[in-house]
Amino acid sequence: MQAPTQAPVNRTIIEPDAAAPAAGGPLAPAFARARAAVVHVFVEVAGTNVFKLERPSSGVVIGSNGLVVTHWDLVREAQGATDKSVFVQLADATRTRLAAKIAAHDVASGLALLQAEVPVGTALVAIDLADAPAPGDPAAVLSYHDGEDHVGFGGIVAFAVGGVTTGDLKFAPSDILLTDAAIQARSHGAALIAADGGLLGLCNASRVATEVSEPTLQDLKRSSFGFVIPTRAIKKAFAYACKPAEQASSGAAAKLASVEARAVARVQDSVVAVLGGEAASRPALGDSDPYAVQRRARVGSGVIVDTNGLVFTNRHLVDGASVVSVTLRDGTTCVADVVETHASTNSALLKMRLAKGAKVTAIPCGSLAAAAVGDVVLAVGNPEGHALTLRQGVLSAVRGRAVQTDAGVGNHNAGGALVSMRGELLAIIDGGARDLLDVAFARRGEQAKVETSLDLSPSIDTLREIYRTALDRDPGTNASLAKPETKASAAPSGVAAVVARTAGSMLNIYVEIKAAALLSEDNPFAPPNATTLTESLGSGVIIDVGGLALTNWHVVDAATEPDGSMTQDRVVRAKLRDGRVFDADVLSISREQDLALLRLRVPADQTVDAVALGASGALAVGDQTVAIGNPHGRADTVTAGVVTAKNQAIRVKGRWAKLPHLLETDAAINAGNSGGALLDSQGRLIGINSAGGSLHAVTGFSISVDHVREMLRSVLLSPEKLRSAYAGLSVVDVEGKVVVQSVDRHGPCAAAGVATGDVVCAVGEVAMRWSGDFALAWSHIDGGATVSVEFERDGKREVRKVTPLSAAAWAVFRQVGLDVSELGIGDDAAKVRAAAIAMDRQFTGDPTAVPSEFPASCVRVVRVHPAVEGAVDVRPGDLVLGVVLRSEGADAEQLLRFQRVEDVQRCVNEHSTYEGETFRTWLYRDGAVRLVELTAKRLMW
């Protein structure tokens, strides 16, 4: 293991930069403006025990006088009941509860208007009712479902493709809005807010399916969605209540179209419906698929790429079809011919049979040369020919000839366009020759439930190359199809800027089996001549230029022993975005925190970058997040979202307790993202990604950076976790200095005269940059070896000699209360031989017995801890020879002999408990063997 590199320390490991800008993000202002107006609505039942009806339930304040809009099904139990009351809980510091009355109920929309009892002289924060949105406008879902904290999701607005029936309510497509911001079960009654913080509508989650712990493929395909009752329905139902809000906004300046809406408007006439088969064979959507996500044979979208009617689409929609038709947004339908198809890209080129001289609107065609990983993209489809399906995401990666994105591509926009914010075509969305969910389920079974939108689609550059002959043979007037703009933006912005800023500190982690293990007899399927084989993978992040990195414990679990040391038949490798690969040592692990500390073996002539650590405590729901990792082995994948919720807790693999202090995000977190970075909009680390989402709640969880920072210092860098020599003191970082915080009065440093308040300058030849250097320095020092510790006291430099305990001796000291060392046969051959003979004769009962082999060493007591001294008959100089064990169900006793300190440590860990176990221990003193009962406790790793 290499010594720490003496380079400038990453000070944000110690504490966040107080002067750094807030995290924020594109939707953060909207969340901030709307937060106070989104409330918790609940029904309380009176009786012997007063309780509230537990269910996700939110509402929105639309009048400062206490008018609140919510869903009727959340309050109807209180209508006319004498034992039930409605309450509105505000999201203020005291979580104020206000009694409320049902003022009105609209049967058509299922909305209810409440009148909260606002104290005289006070006014509630009310939200403005926004104007009708344009398709693609940014939007956010914000709920206060349990009265504990807000939960939010980001996305864009779309219009419904189909209608919805839920309970007694029936909505036509024109009655509702849709959004790709997640509407979960806990979003019932949540606000859909515009970028300016105004209310676009009320979220209805009544059609969101319940979770299934082990879902079948049928469960995965079950219809599950949320939708939005738009503001116009609120205005219509409760016109008198909305009038003040309408007057307040009547003088506002005309709203500028959003960048997203402008991009949609630029391409909307070029994205068409494609149907393979008879003209009348398009299956109806029904009333349970407003997003058109259910797969229907040969139904999909296409993109007009030239004015003469050339259309790109998916091959599976048209291959073998007797008739192919294309429907424009204005409803015009015409037959199209299949010009050419390409199987490996699942693409097809069609030619519409236009009337002579007729032209159609072609999409502006871009190029990946002008795009950057992290750029915002839109997935646009038109499966019915009248309403666009819209999903927003980022360009996650470029995989050879394909584009990867976290936008929700799939059945609902198969064959449609993946476009940039300039409204230029980047790729044709591949909906899959087979249903992508079928493929995921076949590969991962129930784990398919956490797959979130990381599909590959052929880029327009690839399609230009594949279909060049056909495109040149029949050119139209779309110049961008032949010669696109290839000049990239001068400087990346948004997520792309975060990616560019942090790329050098992101890691793809691989745990590999060494050749010896591969070639073992019990592994007949190992590839021939292989030196290693990847066993598992994950992600990581570099936090110090010396090569320190963090990942999840479960990422490197296969490469570590229970105490955190590395196994002999595994190797851990870390790959950087620039292609460099380093071997990595696992320095320490924490199962309970699901964290692991690594050090990359960086050659002396190379450097690595470190990410800045932010402050998760300062984050707000709605702040932007960026996840970079290795999901499903797709290295360097970028996904983006917002902070959905804070202070969450879940269970992860191998843990008996919940993992606390989690950030929840709607950035896609999949298998392989584990251990990777969750970043804020400034490129600072705000969490270590630890778990993906579930069946219908496709959010991910990340260990908050504030907790990570604390666990790094107190757990991962502790001598116990590092298995390092024990010096007997703790240090803290104070204004750039490493200061002694406490001294173990029984430890080596106390014996050397080091005191609280001393400033540690160096340990051996390692200068101290921060407390991590102090912890790691002792991991390079052998127990029992004397080292010089330089420190400063009262302005003067001093050097003291310290002889630390070995990691095993320190463990035994804590387990048994004995400071022990090894007495080698070379140190005192007569005593070692005499002890071995005495033990053999004691165990066999033969007074003349002599062992056939003598041990190389014995375990000697150096010191007895004051807490043990006097309680047991043990003295300095005694030799601890072994313990007598009786296995359950066995007749004979077994003598477990000790030669090394590690033998004592291993014995306790294997045969004791955390509460403690009494061992019949054999000691050697004054030429005789003594039986002493010692209580020892297993250490919790």
* Rounded distance between C-alpha atoms, residue 373 and residue 362, angstroms: 26
Contacts of 821 (CB under 8 A, 6+ apart): 784, 809, 859, 860, 862, 901
* Rounded distance between C-alpha atoms, residue 588 and residue 599, angstroms: 10
What's this model's pTM, rounded to 2 decimal places? 0.90
Of the given ranges (100-104, 569-573, 799-803, 867-871), which has the lowest mean pLDDT? 867-871
pLDDT for the residue 874: 95
Cβ–Cβ under 8 Å, residues 664 and 526: no
Name the β-bridge partners of 540. Answer: 507
Q: How large is the average pLDDT for residues 10-31?
A: 92
* Rounded distance between C-alpha atoms, residue 578 and residue 576, angstroms: 5
Tell me which of 652 and 94 has the higher pLDDT.
94
pLDDT band at 660 (very low <50, low <70, confident <90, very high): confident
Residue 518 predicted with pLDDT over 60: no
* Rounded distance between C-alpha atoms, residue 803 and residue 799, angstroms: 13
CA 726 to chain centre: 35
Cβ–Cβ under 8 Å, residues 100 and 116: yes
Query: What percent of the chain is modeled with pLDDT above 90?
Result: 73
Which candidate, 717, 719, 813, 800, places its Cα nearest to that of 752? 800
Question: Which stretch of DSSP H or E encloses residue 437?
Answer: helix 436-444
Contacts of 151 (CB under 8 A, 6+ apart): 142, 143, 144, 145, 184, 186, 187, 190, 621, 644, 645, 664
Query: Residue 560 is encoded by which pair of tokens?
Result: 């570590």
Measured on CA atoms in the order 156, 159, 165, 170, is the torsion positive or negative? positive
pLDDT for the residue 219: 81
Query: Residue 619 is encoded by which pair of tokens?
Result: 């984050």
For residue range 881-922, what is the model confidence (pLDDT) as tens digits?
A: 999 987 666 567 788 999 999 999 999 988 999 899 999 999
Query: Residue 328 is encoded by which pair of tokens?
Result: 């424009």
pLDDT band at 451 (very low <50, low <70, confident <90, very high): very low
pLDDT for the residue 280: 64
Q: Count Cβ atoms below 10 Å from residue 47 Cβ, excluding itself.
A: 8
For residue range 570-620, what is the model confidence (pLDDT) as tens digits?
A: 999 999 999 999 999 999 999 989 999 999 999 999 999 999 999 999 999
Q: How large is the average pLDDT for residues 542-560?
A: 95
* Rounded distance between C-alpha atoms, residue 827 and residue 833, angstroms: 12
Residue 489 predicted with pLDDT over 70: no
Computed over every residue of the chain, the mean pLDDT equals 90
Cβ–Cβ under 8 Å, residues 400 and 415: no
The SS3 of residue 784 is coil
Residue 23 predicted with pLDDT over 50: yes
